[in-house]
Amino acid sequence: MSVITAFVCVAGEATARAAGTTNQELIGAEGLTGVLAPGQLLRSWLVDEVRDLIEENGIEPLELPPPVSDELFELGEALFYDKILSGNMDVSCSTCHHPRLGTTDRLTMNRGVHGVGIGPERVGAAVGGRTTQPLWNLHKLQLGLTVDHKVPLNAEGYVTPLGGPFIPFEWQDDAFDPNMLVAAGQAMMPEVTDQEMLGFPGENEFTTECPQDNPPFGLVVCAWGKMMERLGEIPEYVDMFEAAYPGVDFADMHFAYAGNAIAAYEFRAFFSNDTPWDRFVGRIDPATGVVEADDDALTLAQLAGARRFLDSDLGNCTSCHAGNAFTDEDFHKTLQPQFGPGGTVPGGDGPGGLDDFGRMRISGDPADKYAWRTPPLRNVMLTGPWGRQSHYNDIKDFLRHYRFPVLALLGYDITESVDEVAMHSQFLENRQAIIAEGVDPLLYTVNIGGPLALDNLVSFLHALSDDNGADFSHLIPLRVPSGLPVDP
Ligand code: HEC
Ligand code: HEC
């Protein structure tokens, strides 16, 4: 990049801002004269820059998810919204991953069993130690799921929750679609997690009649068996399972068939490529498969933000948020603080169990202490607060953390950054311990720039978000086969 173009860029941004014009107005002004106004010069220069950077970063149009049959999708849909899958019949997947709230719950910590209501209105629930993650474009997360890859794929291609053989491998061979392995395995775990869906000892047939062992190998297989008995008592489910898996009798099915169906639902329902960014890079039309790329899809600010995000000499965000899902599916020490009740599955770390050692919990490698998965950024503006524990209510505060991560951690004030007052007393003073584990060297290559550059980065993050907004309530079915109420 030459000095002159840098000047044009800064000057163009500054002029537009000083005059109080929007980017649209700036770009539109050219139409009046019929000649290239400065705004359009800047624009076409930025379009070229960003297209070069897209190529440099190897970013391709977002792939469509693998096709699934309508029958499998419909079974997965029913299961995703049906509270029958929870021990006390009080929680479904959608209770926490609610389509109306961008497939999450807008809470700092997730609220599971015993609760009533959705999202911030949910009361009376058992509180978990982590923030609910969104479910967009799961076909792009193939190596593992959750912020520490608690649900990983092992070298042989089997899903091993918490690194163990909890889901019998022969079940996986029977039921899992090879394109949806981790999501299928992950979909079997909340049902057997006490605080999320299972319930606590003595509360229901799973927690009274199944062995309460630890690690819970006996418990999970027993609970999944009873879950299939429950579903088998509902003729509509038996028909749906048999339609989804032609040639297999319900009597021969185990719970992995349910997990696989839920994954199929998630892949298709929560596929999202209707964003300005996709239309710029090239959007694959799900109906026709035709790819169309539109130079006009991004505003000037979004283009400037994209340039910073993608350029290794500027933001260098793509050194971690790589590819068209914006994640390297790897782990990094980015120095975000810890609060809440601690990692609850299978139990917390450190004194009182209030800490969460991150990736080390699963890998067992002390070098992974306080390292966390790079989250995918698609629809990120629909799923705040931001950070794995919902550390910041304001996206700009989250991004400012990248400027001086050590200082940001030391200066973090939970009362300013988190609205949920209940969390304020649950801040863990482990900051020196986090800093002592070191910071990812890549963070020193990140330059978020000044206030205007920060505005542009935020504009770019908006461009990664679906035009339809956070409300996907059109996905919610009116009823589920158990007849239990569906969270509206
Ligand atoms: C009580 C709230 C709650 C319920 C109920 C729940 N989840 Fe989650 N979900 C979470 C939380 C919290 C995380 C993040 C866990 C972590 O990172 O350790 C998560 C993570 C996930 C992920 C991983 C996303 C990613 O980016 O890695 C998937 C997929 C998922 N849940 C699917 C489901 C399905 C399917 C169900 C129903 C069978 C379900 N969840 C039920 C709270 C919930
Ligand atoms: C060294 C790797 C790395 C780099 C470089 C990096 N990130 Fe991140 N990013 C992460 C990790 C890891 C997290 C999750 C941290 C946590 O919450 O503990 C994250 C979280 C985020 C989030 C919050 C997402 C959510 O769903 O809450 C945003 C937004 C984000 N990054 C944007 C950026 C931008 C913009 C840049 C460049 C200026 C950038 N990141 C550079 C690794 C990185």
Statement to judge: residues 218 and 299 lie in one domain: no
Residue 471 placed within a domain:
no
Q: Is 385 in the pocket of ligand 2 (CB under 6 A)?
A: no
Q: Is 342 in the pocket of ligand 2 (CB under 6 A)?
A: no
Q: Compute, in angstroms, the gap from residue 137 CA to the centroid of ligand 1.
A: 14
Cα dihedral 45, 49, 55, 60 sign: negative
**Which residue(s) pair with 355 in the sheet?**
349
Cβ atoms within 10 A of the Cβ of 340, count? Answer: 25
Statement to judge: residues 18 and 86 lie in one domain: no
Statement to judge: residues 336 and 432 lie in one domain: yes
Statement to judge: residues 349 and 458 lie in one domain: yes
Residue 284 placed within a domain:
no
Q: Compute, in angstroms, the gap from residue 290 CA to the centroid of ligand 2.
A: 32
Long-range contacts, stretch 152-158, CB < 8 angstroms, 24+ apart: 152/182, 152/362, 153/181, 153/182, 157/181
**Ligand 1, atom 16: closest residue by C-alpha:** 146
Residue 282 placed within a domain:
no
d(CA 302, CA 319): 19
For 361, list phi and psi in degrees, rounded to 5.
Answer: -60, -35
Statement to judge: residues 80 and 214 lie in one domain: yes
Statement to judge: residues 409 and 348 lie in one domain: yes
Closest ligand 2 atom number to CA of residue 317? 37
Q: Is 466 in the pocket of ligand 2 (CB under 6 A)?
A: no
Looking at the chain, how many residues does it have?
Answer: 488
Q: Compute, in angstroms, the gap from residue 87 CA to the centroid of ligand 1.
A: 16
415: containing domain: 3-62+291-463
Closest ligand 2 atom number to CA of residue 133? 26
The upper half-sphere exposure of residue 50, i.e. CA atoms within 13 Å in the direction of its Cβ, equals 27
- One pLDDT digit (tens) per residue for the chain, 488 residues: 333 333 333 333 333 333 333 443 333 333 334 456 677 899 999 999 999 999 999 999 999 999 999 999 999 999 999 999 999 999 999 999 999 999 999 999 999 999 999 999 999 999 999 999 999 999 999 999 999 999 999 999 999 999 999 999 999 999 999 999 999 999 999 999 999 999 999 999 999 999 989 889 999 999 999 999 999 999 999 999 999 999 999 999 999 999 999 999 999 999 999 999 999 999 999 999 999 999 999 999 999 999 999 999 999 999 999 999 999 999 999 999 999 999 878 889 998 999 999 999 999 999 999 999 999 999 999 999 999 999 999 999 999 999 999 999 999 999 999 999 999 999 999 999 999 999 999 999 999 999 999 999 999 999 999 988 888 999 999 999 999 999 99
Statement to judge: residues 334 and 453 lie in one domain: yes
CB contact set of 398 (below 8 Å; sequence gap of 6+) = 386, 387, 391, 392
Statement to judge: residues 337 and 425 lie in one domain: yes
**Ligand 2, atom 3: closest residue by C-alpha:** 320
Cβ atoms within 10 A of the Cβ of 311, count? Answer: 20
Statement to judge: residues 216 and 313 lie in one domain: no
Q: Compute, in angstroms, the gap from residue 199 CA to the centroid of ligand 2.
A: 34
Q: Compute, in angstroms, the gap from residue 456 CA to the centroid of ligand 2.
A: 16
Instruction: Quote the number of domains for the chain.
Output: 2
Statement to judge: residues 380 and 335 lie in one domain: yes
Q: Is 128 in the pocket of ligand 1 (CB under 6 A)?
A: yes
Closest ligand 1 atom number to CA of residue 197? 5
Q: Is 372 in the pocket of ligand 2 (CB under 6 A)?
A: yes
pTM of the model: 0.93
**CATH code: domain of residue 403:** 1.10.760.10
Q: Is 392 in the pocket of ligand 2 (CB under 6 A)?
A: no
Q: Is 388 in the pocket of ligand 2 (CB under 6 A)?
A: yes
Q: Compute, in angstroms, the gap from residue 429 CA to the centroid of ligand 2.
A: 22
